Amino acid sequence: MTAAQAERVSALLKAMADSVRLQLLSLVASHEGGEACVCDLTEAFELSQPTISHHLKVLHQSGLLERSKRGVWVYYKVQAEVLDSLGKLISSAGA
């Protein structure tokens, strides 16, 4: 693993190093159509909508989620290729 790859993996792992964020990734990935609105996710947590939005923002900024705005709602979708790349980098580092 190169230094640049290690930096990228580190940033992704930092973004995922929170139980709420891991749950959000899982919920978005398993949601119908593979994408979810913030309004679909808040019920699963005893957290405010702004807190959920903050966690989603962290995941988006790290590249783990993509987002699109539709009217007043923002929809999130897991960047599967980023997760695949992360898994491959981690597994190749142990080889």
* Domain CATH code at residue 29: 1.10.10.10
Q: DSSP 3-state assignment of 86? A: helix
CA–CA dist 7, 67 (Å, integer): 23
Count of structural domains, the chain:
1
Q: DSSP 3-state assignment of 54? A: helix
Task: Quote the pLDDT of residue 95.
Answer: 55
Classify residue 95: in a domain, yes or no.
no
- Which residues 6+ apart lie within 8 Å of 17 measured at CB? none
Task: Quote the pLDDT of residue 51.
Answer: 92
Task: Quote the pLDDT of residue 24.
Answer: 93
Q: The whole model's pTM is what?
A: 0.83
Residue 72 has pLDDT above 90, yes or no: no
- pLDDT tens track for 7-59: 888 888 888 899 999 999 989 988 888 899 888 888 888 998 889 999 999 99
Residue 32, domain extent: 3-89
Classify residue 54: in a domain, yes or no.
yes
